[in-house]
Amino acid sequence: MRVFIGLGSNLGDRAYYLREAIKALEGPTTKIKETSRIYETEPWGGIEQPQYWNQVIEVDTTLEPLDLLHVCQEIELRLGRERKVHWGPRTIDIDLLIYDNRVSESEELRLPHPYLEERAFVIAPLREIAPKLILPSGRSINEVVGDGKVQPLT
């Protein structure tokens, strides 16, 4: 299955956390296909906190959506993620953005990601690695900008 995953970090060594999350995702059931550059972005959600570094990766996986979500959550925990404040600072955040053409409205997992088209920090790196992508809404990735300022670092 073709899956796009968003990564973000704004605590500690941001480059380290992004790199380690990507390494941890690679395995027998999940192969990294594409990796965007790192983008520095404003925090989302109105909470005072440091700037984020964000990336989007494309993976090919044999895992079902909930199984992949649980792998991502396990990696977050191993890398020191604490869930104290909604949209608050974090060492690492790993979000399933698009999972093939699957739709999920469960309490545990919503696919596609409900804020996908609203966030420039997701749209910019996603456009970089999938410039011809048609989003689940039916819109081209090139039609969508999202809110917030993004600046590529690399």
Out of 14, 81, 119, 127, the active site residue is 81
SS3 at position 15: helix
Q: How would residue 87 be classed by pLDDT, with cut points 50, 70 and 90? A: low
90 is known as an active-site residue: yes
- Angstrom distance (rounded) from CA 106 to CA 99: 14
State the Cα–Cα distance between residues 51 and 151, nearest whole angstrom.
11
Residue 86 pLDDT greater than 70, yes or no: no
100 a catalytic residue: no
Query: How many angstroms separate the CA atoms of 1 and 78, rounded?
Result: 25
The chain-wide mean pLDDT, for the chain, equals 93
* pLDDT band at 48; cut points 50, 70, 90: confident
Assess whether pLDDT exceeds 90 at residue 2: yes
pLDDT at res. 154: 66
Percentage of the residues of the chain whose pLDDT score is greater than 70: 95
pLDDT for the residue 112 = 95
What average pLDDT does this structure show over 9-28? 97
Domain spans in the chain, listed from the N-terminal domain onward: 2-152
Supply the DSSP symbol for 38. P
Winning range, highest mean pLDDT, from 27-36, 44-53, 112-121: 27-36
Q: How confident is the model at residue 15 (pLDDT cuts 50, 70, 90)?
A: very high
Confidence of residue 95 (pLDDT cuts 50, 70, 90): very high
Alpha-carbon distance 122 to 118, whole Å?
A: 8
Please confirm, yes or no, whether 81 is among the known catalytic residues: yes
DSSP 3-state assignment of 33?
strand
37 is catalytic: no
In terms of pLDDT, which residue wins out, 45 or 91? Answer: 91
**Is 149 within 8 Å of 42 (Cβ atoms)?**
yes
Pick the CATH number of 2-152 from 3.30.70.560, 3.40.50.720, 1.10.150.120, 3.30.70.1400: 3.30.70.560
Kindly report, residue by residue over 107-126, the tens digit of the pLDDT: 999 999 999 999 999 999 99
Average pLDDT, integer, range 69-76: 97
- Catalytic, out of 2, 37, 95, 102: 95
